[in-house]
Amino acid sequence: MKVQIGNYRSYFSPYTIVESFTWLLGEERIEKITDSKLFEKISDFAQPAFAWFDEVKPSRIEKGKIDRWDHWSADHTLSLIIVPLLTELRKNLHGAPFVDDADVPECLRTSSAKPLTKKEKENGHVDEFHHQRWEYVIDKIIWAMTQIRDDEWQSQFHTGKSDITWKEVPCSLDKDDPLASDDDVCHEMIQGPNDTSHFDNEGYTKFSAEIDEGTKLFGKYFRNLWS
């Protein structure tokens, strides 16, 4: 995968071009130039060309190439982009959308905040936990995507050493038998005397549910991912 996304293009006009030389000519001289009748005539003449440029020029460079292997684990591939992008967004939050109380702990809910006065409500004020709720949601999403990106989070629930052998056994022809097969020989897993392997199914289920919660929040608040 190759992705190239450029910065947003600046708006160009005769004024912005002249003002870019402020560092050289100084604000006073620039102001005299842009206030002159000659500059006004030049600007009026050139404006259609700048308007045309604004219509045909894309607002930013957006190029992407997907390779055939990128979709094999699309969740992992996407997480490689999502984690660093949302981490940067988290550092530069300038606002916050409304977050449902059900998506945050009780201590951050509107019911736990100091009640707003009538005047504060009329002026559009938000409660004291408004921004913290959004930060909580962003953190949950980043955490979930980080687990998916690392791709080895399941290993923490496997402990001990494995001592397993496979024994050849006749295959059952009974369709209700899990060993049923059309082959002549099947294999049965035999646990050896030195096998100490253990899988923490309860811990795995709880951890997996936390990841699922983060991905659900990502989908629910996807259109609010702005700074």
Mean of all residue pLDDT scores within the chain: 87
Q: What is the sign of the dihedral through the CA atoms of 95, 98, 100 and 106?
A: positive
Residue 217: is its pLDDT beyond 90? yes
Confidence of residue 103 (pLDDT cuts 50, 70, 90): very high
Residue 111: is its pLDDT beyond 70? yes
In this predicted model, what pLDDT tens digit does every residue of 76-95 receive, in sequence order?
999 999 999 999 999 999 99
Six-digit token string for 31: 């102001």
Torsion of CA 100, 105, 107, 108, to 10 degrees: -40
In this predicted model, what pLDDT tens digit does every residue of 170-214 receive, in sequence order?
776 566 666 555 666 788 888 888 999 999 999 999 999 999 999
Report the predicted TM-score, pTM, of the whole model to 2 decimal places.
0.70
Nearest to 214 by CA among 123, 125, 146: 146
- pLDDT value of position 137: 98
**Mean pLDDT: which of 142-146, 161-165, 186-190, 193-197 is highest?**
142-146
Residue 166: is its pLDDT beyond 70? yes
Residue 74 to residue 60: CA distance in whole angstroms: 26
Q: Is 151 left (phi over 0), alpha (psi -120 to 50) or beta?
A: left
Residue 182 to residue 168: CA distance in whole angstroms: 15
Q: What is the mean pLDDT of residues 19-31?
A: 88
